[in-house]
Amino acid sequence: MNLQFTEEQLMMRDMVRDFAQNEIAPFIERMEEGEFPREILAKMGELGLMGITAPEELGGSNMDFTSYIIAINELSKVSAVVGVILSVHTSVGTNPIIYFGNEEQKQKYVPKLASGEYLGAFCLTEPNAGSDAGSLKSKAIRDGNDYIINGSKVFITNGGEADVYVVFAVTDATKGSRGISAFIVEKDTEGLIIGKNEEKMGLHGSRTVQLTFENMRIPEENLLGKEGEGFKIAMANLDVGRIGIAAQSLGIAEAALEAATNYAKERVQFGKPIAAQQGVGFKLADMATAVEASKLLVYRAANLRSEGKPCGQEASMAKLFASKTAVETAIEAIQVFGGYGYTKDYPVERYFRDAKVTEIYEGTSEIQRLVIGKHMLTD
């Protein structure tokens, strides 16, 4: 396994690192107050980050998958909000159209998504279909050359801000998950109703909304793939999307470790820095080891994907471990900071609030174990 980055990847990493420090860090407070980082995303579009892996002929930067993961990782060290927005936009908002769209759909949507003019979203989860994604109830009924979609979705990241939604709905209720189809829905479509924006524990600058479809008429040209292929489209893109969330988790964990280490070197108690006291030193050692292990899993999965090899199991392992590491490292960082860590004067409490959801979205940790276990039985 080669975990050495290429010259090109290193240049990209440095560019994203500078951008995150100079442009995103000063915006954190506004995001904490709930502002969606529109102007940051516009600048990311100019830098080619919104279409980082999209092919050049569709307006993308045509970079390899590992470069994309490096970008999510670097952005998330500064802002997990910007990390998740880019991850959802790319992995499950744009990629389904690149991989499953026909030529017209690709030409119509991908250049705008890749430039950042459009933002993408992915609409799978419903009030009664979360982990059991195959049991969704939204219905798409054929009516001449259109489909009429009715139903509701919850926890839609980028919802309300996105211009293009990849929507999953049942076209044949007798076929279970083989009766689900995918549709490309534009934001101004009549019948697409943007509902409540959830007030979350963390990721305050991101949007997580409820959507309702009321007799939403979608032309058949916007059916993505064939009828009945929707569940496979969702699963295939989630396989890869999970590496993005794993990279986001890694970024949070690295930020928490760095903050805790710096603080522990400066904070003096009992006549020496707390980092030199074994209770804290061992804590930092365990945190650093878990972060390093996460990094290996994340970039191992990314490299497999870059080489076009199957990576579903490795993606789930990376997400399972890196998300756990993000939560545990953030909690331990708060402990290292003591009373100060529990205040908003330091970023470690934000790292914890932002980390927790990485064990939940794009498949809970329990679902990752289920996926890993299935691969162990069948591969």
Q: Does 244 bind ligand CAA (CB under 6 A)?
A: no
Instruction: Say whether residue 76 binds ligand CAA (CB under 6 A).
Output: no
Nearer to ligand CAA, 79 or 125 (CB): 125
Extract the tokens encoding 189. 């479509």
- Work out whether 370 is an interface residue with ligand CAA (CB under 6 A): yes
Among 178, 267, 369, 375, interactor with ligand CAA by CB under 6 A:
178
- The residue among 174, 186, 185, 172 whose CA lies nearest residue 227 is 172
Retrieve residue 377's tokens. Answer: 């039985």
Instruction: Between 36 and 361, name the residue whose CB sits nearer to ligand CAA.
Output: 361
Give the residue, chosen from 122, 147, 165, 352, that forms a contact with ligand CAA under the rule CB under 6 A: 122
Q: How far apart are CA 379 and CA 76, in angstroms?
A: 33
Distance CA 72, CA 160 (A): 22
Cα–Cα distance, 371 to 62 (Å, whole number): 30
362 is an active site residue: yes
Residue 239 engages ligand CAA in binding (rule: CB under 6 A): yes
Q: Which two tokens stand for residue 310?
A: 């199957």
Q: Toward ligand CAA, which CB reaches closer, 65 or 361?
A: 361
- To ligand CAA, the closest distance from the beta carbon of 217 in angstroms equals 25
Q: Of the candidates 64, 126, 359, 362, which one interacts with ligand CAA according to CB under 6 A?
A: 362
Q: Which is nearer to ligand CAA, 155 or 299 (CB)?
A: 155
First to last CA, the chain: 20
Residue with tokens 């061992």: 282
Q: How many residues does the chain have?
A: 379
Measured distance CA(73)–CA(84) in Å, rounded: 10
Helix, strand, coil tally for the chain in percent (to 5) = 60, 15, 25
197 binds ligand CAA (CB under 6 A): no
Cβ atoms of 129 and 135 closer than 8 Å = yes
Q: Which residues pair with 197 in a beta bridge?
A: 209
Q: Is residue 124 involved in binding ligand CAA (CB under 6 A)?
A: yes
Nearer to ligand CAA, 118 or 361 (CB): 361
Exposure string for 294-318, b = 16+ CB within 10 A, e = fewer: bbebbbbbbbbbbeeeebbbbbbbb
- For ligand CAA, the binding residue among 52, 88, 298, 330 (CB under 6 A) is 88
Least Å distance between CB 66 and ligand CAA?
A: 20
Q: Which secondary structure element, helix H or strand E, spans residue 197, and what is its range?
A: strand 192-197
- Among 168, 231, 263, 337, indicate the residue that binds ligand CAA (CB under 6 A): 231
Q: At closest approach, how far in Å is the CB of 369 from ligand CAA?
A: 11
Residue count at the site for ligand CAA (CB under 6 A)? 26
For position 236 contacting ligand CAA by CB under 6 A, the verdict is: yes
Name the one range near ligand CAA by CB under 6 A: 30-38, 55-63, 131-139, 288-296: 131-139
DSSP bridge partners of 149:
140, 216
Question: β-strands 192-197, 272-273: how paired?
Answer: unpaired
Among the listed residues 15, 47, 194, 235, the single contact to ligand CAA using CB under 6 A: 235
Q: Does 238 bind ligand CAA (CB under 6 A)?
A: yes
Burial of 379 (0-12, 13-18, 19+ CB in 10 A): exposed
Instruction: Point out the residues that are catalytic.
Output: 362
Contacts with ligand CAA by CB under 6 A lie at 84, 88, 122, 124-125, 131-134, 155, 157, 177-178, 231-232, 235-236, 238-239, 312, 361-363, 367, 370-371
